[in-house]
Each structure stands twice: as C-alpha cells, then as structure tokens.
Amino acid sequence: MTSDKNVIAYIRVSTLLNQDPQVQLTTIREFAKQRDLKMVGEYVDEGISGAREKRPALDKLIGDARMGKFKIIIVTGIDRLGRSTKHLLNFLDEMQHYGVSLISIREQLDFSTPTGQMALTMLSAVATLERQLISERIKTALAAKKITARDTGSNWRCGRPRKVTNDIVVTVLELRSQGLSFREIAKRLGISHMAVYRIANQK
C-alpha cells in the first residue's frame, strides 16, 4: 500500500527563458524535507508550453498516479501545470479520482484540505464565469460588425478568413487560456481546427 507520505515533484521550465529545472527541484525537495515527506519521483518537462495539455513528463505522471505510485504532487506554482483553468480543474478531478492530492508552494495551497477544496470550488466558478463573459463579448463584437457592414455596404461577413492574422492568434490564445476546446474556437472564429491547434501549441 502506498504511504500517504509518498510525494513526487512536477517541474515545467521554458528553455526560451533559460530556466533551470534545478531551481524548482531544490525548492520542492526542501519543502518535502521540512514536512517529513518521502520524495519518490521527479517529473520534468523542459521547453514545453504551459498551454499544451499533452506533455511527456506530465503524461507519465498521470499514468503513475493511476497505478498508485504516490499520494501527493508538489509544484512550485499552479502555472507549472498549465495556463488553462479548465485543464487544471480536469487534472485535479482526475487526480482526486486516483486518491492523489496537489500542493502548490507559491500559492500555499493543499487541495486535500478544506481550504484547498474551497479554493478549487472558487476556481471552477471563475472558469465558468470567464467562459460566459468571453462568449458574450465575441457575440456582441460580431453583431456590431454585421450592423456596421450592413449600414456601410461593406462586404464583410462572418465567415472563414483567408489567412490567420495577428488578431486571430491573440484571440485563439485568449480563448484557450479560458478552457475552450479547439473545435469551439475554430467554430467561433471561422478558422480550421488545425489552424487553432497550431496556434495553441506554438511555444
């Protein structure tokens, strides 16, 4: 039976920013030592965007969690797991199913405690509100453009653009950060599913 003191470290660093994974590892090792926790694994993703849900080390971590190899995941900050609130919530829900909890050092959150569970509920509520607000902003903007096009005789239409502009790239990244799927974003912006995938997965 896996001990409740068995913990692992998850680290994600950006090679573009010349980040050293040892900085996060040292912080997590010291944290575990101070709390008499047993470090049984270290999972490191280097040079992989936080917007990507599929990562080699994170995928291995999930597989090992499913096998019951540890009870606690320690990260230096929530953003190491990802930028999408939806992805984070789905991840935490899956870990909870496996009997694994998460500790984030920077935010001082332990999601196995009542305080951590309250924070998780708040995150979920905020994610839902954010998606609703973004949806309303997009609908309002499109409606305004249609009215302007009608009144000015412009040939603008709400459809698939011929090329991906900088504005589209920014919008795609914003929508992904709020947890919308590739297909939802493609449908809203009138671009291909693959175009959204390429934009969202660029480093």
Active site residues: 14
Give one DSSP letter per residue of the chain, joined into a string. ---TTEEEEEEEE-GGGT--HHHHHHHHHHHHHHTT-EEEEEEEEES--TT-S--HHHHHHHHHHHTT--SEEEES-GGGT-S-HHHHHHHHHHHHHTT-EEEETTTTEETTSHHHHHHHHHHHHHHHHHHHHHHHHHHHHHHHHHHHHHHHT----SS--SS--HHHHHHHHHHHHTT--HHHHHHHHT--HHHHHHHHT--
